[in-house]
Amino acid sequence: MESLEVKNLTHHFGFTEILHNINFTLKKGEVLSVVGPSGGGKTTLLHLCAGLLDVEEGSIQNSFKSTAFAFQEGRLLPWKNVIDNIAVGLLAKGEKKDEALKKSQKIALEFGLEEEDFTKYPKDLSGGMKQRVNFARALVTKPSLLFLDEPFSALDIGLKKELYAHLLDSCKENEMSILFITHDLMEAIRLSDKILLLKADPGHIVKTFEYDTPNDKREEIFIYEQSAKILQDKEIIDTFELNTLELI
């Protein structure tokens, strides 16, 4: 069984402790999100899990066969056109060039890009289109684990929903797992099986929320109800410092 196991993970930047004693397990087919305020060490945690940073204390065991990463800001190669950008993940895996391009074109169409966009460079794409390319690039490799670094934060609500649907499809078809960081609670409730609440200074997990309803069966009403409920939670209020707002 493929899984990602994080045990007693602690991380420092210089003398500042960023993460303190983090423990969790992500199983196959599961969507796990880490929520918390900005600057709470979420990105560091994600980068450690994705192997972009070296683990100092504790351990991370990743037995997933393949991983992919969708970034907050597209991070497309400015000198490559849309299709070549999508194909880089496949090419890095050693896929043949024409095969990779064919797959990239197919997924680009699925992600709502037009054929006339294929030869455009990132400078000519809108923010939404860049993010479509970003997702297509990650999902075309059919990863068994996908890392998401708040990739929805600058998108309009329609595009968000479209990309949610693509993600849930991939989860179902390929039994893909997702490790997802966000500061948007509603988004976390919509997609995740499990939510970890990360409190800052240093980043540590204070509470875990679990949702049993399958994520493709969650109605809008369910999401709003759960969001309202979670906002009453004492730990949530504490972590996001919601009570200071009331004082004002």
Partner 1 sequence: MKFLFKILKDFPAYLWSGWGAIASTLLFIALWDLGNQVYGNLVLPSPLETFKTLYIMLQDKDVWQQIDITLYRASVGFGLSLLFGSILGLIAGFFATASMMSRPIVTILVGMPPIAWIVLAMIWFGMGDETVIFTVVVASFPIIFVGALQGTRTLDGDLKEMAESFGFTWYMKFFDVYFPHIFSYIFPAWVSGLGMAWKIVIMAELLATSDGMGAELAIARSQLDTPTALALVTIMITSLMFIEYIVLEPIKREVELWRA
Q: Which residues bind partner 1 (CB under 8 A)?
A: 47, 50-52, 67-69, 71, 73, 75, 77-80, 88-89, 91-93, 121-123, 137, 141, 147
User: Angle between the 157-174 and 127-139 helix axes, to the nearest 10 degrees?
Assistant: 0
Nearer to partner 1, 50 or 189 (CB): 50
Minimum gap (Å) between residue 123 Cβ and partner 1: 4
Q: Give the separation between CA 172 and CA 2, rounded to whole angstroms.
A: 16
Minimum gap (Å) between residue 25 Cβ and partner 1: 22
Minimum gap (Å) between residue 52 Cβ and partner 1: 6
Nearer to partner 1, 3 or 66 (CB): 66
Say if CB 42 and CB 196 are below 8 A apart. Answer: no
Say if CB 34 and CB 189 are below 8 A apart. Answer: no
Nearer to partner 1, 94 or 158 (CB): 94
Minimum gap (Å) between residue 62 Cβ and partner 1: 13
Nearer to partner 1, 121 or 222 (CB): 121
Minimum gap (Å) between residue 85 Cβ and partner 1: 10
Minimum gap (Å) between residue 221 Cβ and partner 1: 37
3-state helix, strand, coil in the chain (%, to 5): 40, 25, 35
Nearer to partner 1, 46 or 163 (CB): 46
Nearer to partner 1, 81 or 226 (CB): 81
Q: Is 232 helix (H, G, I), strand (E, B) or coil?
A: helix
Q: Tokens 């497309």 belong to which residue?
A: 76
Give residues with Cβ within 8 angstroms of 168, minimum separation 6.
191, 215, 216
Closest CA to 111 of 169, 174, 156, 187: 169
Give residues with Cβ within 8 angstroms of 23, minimum separation 6.
6, 7, 8, 9, 205
